Structure 1
Amino acid sequence: MSNHGFFQITQKLFLRDGNQLLVLRDSKSGHGDLPGGRMNEDEFFSDWSESIFREVSEELGDQIKIDVNPEPIFIHKHRVNEGNFPCVIIAYSAKLVEGIIQLSDEHDFMDWVDISKFDPSNLFSEYMLDAVQLYLKKYA
């Protein structure tokens, strides 16, 4: 008899400004991160993009305008730092339209990196590193 698993869903954005990709660092874990985050229980049966925009506004402030392609670019496994929960990353590509990012206290570092030169292994680890490498291989 098999046990069905319960997994959280995190939606992450590969946010670009031209050739530059926004990378963040999680304040608690010190690991690399991307904008976005876990879906709340009450968001599951709504439009999932609402969850993305809630997270973006929490993490990057409401001074920015972004354009998110609603078609996921890939799905990947992940383990959430907090509580080590198994999690599914749904990755989307997004473009910065305008505005200035104001980091919340969830992240203590941000950088716009050139996708053709960036080595994610200095910042990212584990499944997030795999996901970023997958993205760079496909889109850099």
Structure 2
Amino acid sequence: MSKHGFFQITQKLFLRDGDSLLVLRDQKSGHGDLPGGRMNEDEFFDDWTQSIFREINEELGEDINIEVNPIPIFVHKHRVNDGNFPCIIIAYNAKLIDGNVKLSDEHDYMEWVDIKKFDPKNLFSEYMLDAVQLYLNQYA
């Protein structure tokens, strides 16, 4: 008899400024990443957008002002680089209102890429590559 799985939840933003999409690179793994991150245990029964904005403040700084559509655009499987834990990506559309990104030490690279020309294979891998490709197929 198989047992139920336990999975972490990561909320990721496809953060846009017009036709530009913000992509990041994880400093530890060297793999492509998107703004957002894993939900803490004590955030599960709260409004999940609080978890998103906590992660955005940590990763992009407090000077950035964004709008997040709270309705997920898709759900995808993932393995978290740190510990290789099975994880569920919940993806959201978001747009930049104003402000400047100030990267935390979690990421060592960022770029606003043109969604019509961007090839994610150079930066992203595995399930995150699948998720970004899914997004580009729908929205580019």
In 2: Cα distance, 1:74 partner to 1:40 partner:
21
Q: Could you tell me which residue of structure 2 aligns to residue 137 of structure 1?
A: 137
Paired residues in the alignment total 140
1:95 pairs with 2:95: yes
Question: For residue 34 of structure 1, what is the amino acid of its counterpart?
Answer: L
In 1: Cα distance, 2:107 partner to 2:132 partner:
18
In 2: Cα distance, 1:111 partner to 1:138 partner:
21
In 1: Cα distance, 2:58 partner to 2:24 partner:
14
Q: Could you tell me which residue of structure 2 aligns to residue 105 of structure 1?
A: 105
Q: Could you tell me which residue of structure 2 aligns to residue 84 of structure 1?
A: 84
Structure 1 residues not aligned, in runs of 5+ = none
In 2: Cα distance, 1:70 partner to 1:83 partner:
28
Structure 1's consecutive aligned runs of 4 or more residues displaced over 4 angstroms after TM superposition are none
Give the match's secondary structure for 2:37: strand
Question: For residue 107 of structure 1, what is the amino acid of its counterpart?
Answer: H
In 1: Cα distance, 2:3 partner to 2:138 partner:
34
Shift of residue 2 of structure 1?
A: 1.8
1:68-79 correspondence to structure 2 within 5 Å: 68-79=68-79
Give the match's secondary structure for 1:131: helix
Q: Could you tell me which residue of structure 2 aligns to residue 26 of structure 1?
A: 26
Q: TM-score by structure 1 length? A: 1.00
Q: RMSD in angstroms over aligned alpha carbons?
A: 0.3
In 2: Cα distance, 1:13 partner to 1:57 partner:
13
